[in-house]
Structures are given as structure tokens and as C-alpha cells.
């Protein structure tokens, strides 16, 4: 059984700073799952593969087929056309 909630594989959408960091941390676990990275940036996928952060990479058309869990490694404003509120006004 994997150390990640019983999942033997995890797909991470977005292998940038956030997703790459999550992937690297997962690979450090004693019973690391198979990590599949999904990104539109082929260079990011290639880097993550060569660094050992992911076991396989895919463009978005693959979307982690067969993964037991999917982790979104996207920045907070990804896909948003409006700015995020500042911490001082978030509760207003």
C-alpha cells in the first residue's frame, strides 16, 4: 500500500513550482507512488522526468489516465481573469 492514502499512483496537473514541489516530495516518501506529471510545457515535463520528480509525463490530452489520485499543482490565480484579494481585504 502506498503512503499516499492507499493510492499507488498520483497525477499532478501543472509541473511548475507548486506541482513540481509536490511531485518531488511524493518521490521522497518511503513507499512513493508512481507520479505522472501533466503539463502543456514539454520542457517542464522533460526537466521533471530527468530530475526524477515524475515517473511519466503527459500533455493535457492524457490527463493522468489510470491514476488513483489527481493533484492540481496550479497557482491560485490559474484560470482566473480577476486578481486575488489582498490578505488585508480578503474578509471584506
Q: What CATH number has the domain bearing residue 20?
A: 3.40.50.720
13 lies in some domain: yes
**Each residue's pLDDT tens digit, 44-90:** 999 999 999 999 998 887 555 666 666 666 555 455 445 445 555 44
Position 91 in a domain = no
pTM above 0.75, yes or no: no
pLDDT at residue number 84: 46
Look at residue 88 and tell me if it is in a domain. no
Which DSSP letter does residue 89 get? T
Helices (DSSP H) in 1-92: which residue ranges? 17-27, 42-51
pLDDT tens, position by position, 2-40:
556 677 888 888 898 889 999 999 999 998 999 999 888
pLDDT attached to residue 5: 67
Q: Are 37 and 19 in contact (CB under 8 A)?
A: yes
Q: What's the number of domains the chain is made of? A: 1
Amino acid at each position: 500500500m502506498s503512503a499516499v492514502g492507499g493510492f499507488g499512483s498520483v497525477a499532478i496537473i501543472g509541473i511548475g513550482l507548486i506541482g513540481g514541489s509536490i511531485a518531488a516530495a511524493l518521490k521522497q516518501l518511503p513507499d512513493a507512488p508512481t507520479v505522472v506529471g501533466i503539463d502543456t510545457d514539454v520542457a517542464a515535463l522533460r526537466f521533471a522526468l530527468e530530475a526524477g520528480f515524475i515517473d511519466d509525463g503527459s500533455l493535457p490530452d492524457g490527463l493522468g489516465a489510470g491514476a488513483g489520485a489527481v493533484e492540481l499543482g496550479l497557482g491560485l490565480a490559474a484560470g482566473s481573469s480577476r486578481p486575488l484579494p489582498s490578505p488585508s481585504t480578503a474578509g471584506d
